[in-house]
Structure 1
Amino acid sequence: MNKKWLSSILVAFFSIAAIVFMIMGNFNFAVFAMTIMFALSNGFRAKSFKEQGYIKEAKWMKYMAIFFTVASIAVFITIVTG
């Protein structure tokens, strides 16, 4: 499967999951799905920028992906312990 298709499917899946959790009223899982979505989209965007030669932008997106990955872990810990 093409990497672009895979990234699009994953981002769409977590976007839809976030909307479903919001409708259900489960906001902790909605935030969890959104942070995963942001981590994935920024990670894939960082790879794309690097391939295109935009090194500074790729570095920025990599750090944003790391931030949202850490945020996802923090939200997961909050869900599990709360």
Structure 2
Amino acid sequence: MNTKWIPSILVAFFSIAAIVFVVKGNFDFAVLAMTVMFAMSNGFRAKSFKEQGYIKEAKWMRYMAVFFGIASVAVLAIITTS
């Protein structure tokens, strides 16, 4: 399998999981799936930008990935404590 497909498959998996959770009415897990998806997609995009030489954009995407990673941990903490 091509290693460039792995990020796309992971993002697609979490996107589909978010849609499934919304349909089921489990909005806490839908938000968790979306924040994980955003963290991963921004992280992969930051790596891609850096490889293309867009250093400023890569830095911005990395910060966004970190933000959504922290948000994912916060959502997970809220889910487990409720």
Q: 1:48 — aligned with what? A: 48
Q: 1:14 — aligned with what? A: 14
Number of positions where the alignment pairs a residue of Structure 1 with one of Structure 2: 82
Cα deviation code 1:29-73 (max 9, x no counterpart): 000000000000000000000000000000000000000000000
* Cα displacement (A) at 1:23: 0.3
Task: Supply the AA of the counterpart residue of 2:57.
Answer: E
TM-score, normalised to structure 1, is: 0.97
Structure 2 Cα separation of the partners of residues 6 and 45 of structure 1: 13
Q: 2:60 — aligned with what? A: 60
Structure 1 Cα separation of the partners of residues 78 and 24 of structure 2: 19
* Cα displacement (A) at 1:2: 2.9
Q: Secondary structure at the match of 1:3?
A: coil
* Cα displacement (A) at 1:3: 3.3
Q: 2:2 — aligned with what? A: 2
Identity of aligned residues (%): 76
Structure 2 Cα separation of the partners of residues 78 and 26 of structure 1: 14
TM-score, normalised to structure 2, is: 0.97
Unaligned stretches of 5+ residues in structure 1: none
TM superposition outliers: structure 1 runs of 4+ over 6 Å: none
RMSD, aligned α-carbons: 0.7
